[in-house]
């Protein structure tokens, strides 16, 4: 039976990533995109954290009312604002960063995590450290690719990807594992992998494996 999954995104570019990654499965996607929330959070000093949390709660409840089998949240800032104790929903809420966290925590060695959006770093790192507690500790360096995120917000996706790839090439001789923390960075990371043969961990691949298992998607394969 076809699965119906609701997705909450902070930017429309994430839609293509998700649909392409799961193209082999018989899934009906309902996409909900709201870039305005993070804009308010970063620019409106009168917009409180509690206001942002209320907005995320309203969005998730609205998606749930569309009778979906699961809800996927692809924005790490939205995930950080989500208070599940205030929700009582019959379907699972899947957070894109948790399978990714699990993958990098299992490496158990010093590593590098790249971001393009500075506003994403604090919430993501806080959640990562909480996830890593069961492993003892996690040794990682956060690196922000300055002035790149503005390109994707302006609709300049190819320029955005090139900026990321140019940055990645600086680490050709780096021995520490390397990962990108944002879904918007996946395409550039995959291109870099193809060109260099170096692995760059990304949240999308971990998510696909997780959802296949958790939602029993193998039975929905259209191959």
pLDDT at 182: 92
Tell me whether residue 220 is in a domain. no
Phi, psi (degrees; rounded to nearest 5) at 32: -125, 120
pLDDT at 194: 95
Q: Which two tokens stand for residue 167?
A: 């940055």
Domain count, the chain: 2
Among 95, 128, 150, where does a domain finish?
95
123 and 170 assigned to the same domain: yes
**pLDDT, one tens digit for every residue, the chain (223 residues):** 788 999 999 888 889 999 999 999 889 999 999 888 877 877 888 888 888 889 999 999 999 999 999 999 998 888 888 888 888 898 999 999 999 999 999 988 899 999 998 888 988 999 999 999 988 889 999 999 999 988 988 889 899 999 999 999 999 888 999 999 998 999 999 999 999 999 999 999 999 989 888 877 765 665 5
Helix orientation angle between 157-168 and 186-196, rounded to the nearest 10 degrees: 50
127 and 153 assigned to the same domain: yes
Residue 55 gets the label, from left (phi > 0), alpha (psi -120 to 50) or beta, of alpha
Tell me whether residue 127 is in a domain. yes
In the β-sheet with 111-115, what is the strand arrangement from edge to edge? 140-144, 111-115, 178-180, 200-201
Asked whether 3 and 215 are in contact (CB, 8 A), the reply is yes
68 and 127 assigned to the same domain: no
138 is in which domain, residue-wise? 98-205
Q: How far apart are CA 10 and CA 30, in angstroms?
A: 14
Tell me whether residue 79 is in a domain. yes
Q: How far apart are CA 72 and CA 83, in angstroms?
A: 15
Tell me whether residue 46 is in a domain. yes
Asked whether 73 and 127 are in contact (CB, 8 A), the reply is no
76 and 144 assigned to the same domain: no
Tell me whether residue 56 is in a domain. yes
Which ranges of the chain would DSSP assign to H, the alpha helix? 14-21, 36-43, 49-64, 76-81, 97-105, 118-132, 149-153, 157-168, 186-196, 203-214
- Secondary structure letter of residue 67 according to DSSP: -
């Amino acid at each position: 039976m076809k699965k119906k999954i609701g997705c909450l995104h902070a930017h429309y570019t994430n839609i293509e990533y998700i649909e392409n990654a799961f193209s082999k499965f018989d899934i009906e996607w309902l996409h909900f995109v709201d870039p305005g929330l993070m804009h308010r959070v970063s620019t409106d000093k009168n917009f409180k954290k509690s206001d942002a949390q209320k907005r995320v709660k309203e969005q998730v409840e609205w998606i749930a009312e569309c009778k979906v089998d699961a809800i996927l949240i692809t924005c790490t800032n939205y995930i950080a604002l989500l208070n599940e104790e205030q929700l009582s929903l019959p379907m699972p809420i899947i957070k894109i960063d948790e399978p990714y966290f699990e993958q990098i925590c299992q490496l158990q060695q010093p590593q590098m995590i790249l971001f393009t959006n500075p506003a994403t770093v604090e919430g993501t790192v806080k959640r990562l450290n909480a996830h890593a507690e069961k492993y003892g500790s996690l040794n990682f360096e956060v690196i922000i690719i300055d002035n790149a995120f503005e390109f994707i917000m302006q609709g300049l996706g190819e320029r955005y990807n090139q900026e990321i790839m140019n940055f990645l090439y600086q680490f050709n001789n780096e021995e520490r594992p390397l990962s990108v923390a944002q879904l918007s960075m996946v395409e550039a990371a995959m291109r870099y992998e193809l060109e260099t043969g170096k692995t760059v961990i990304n949240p999308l691949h971990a998510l696909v494996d997780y959802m296949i298992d958790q939602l029993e998607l193998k039975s929905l394969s259209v191959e």
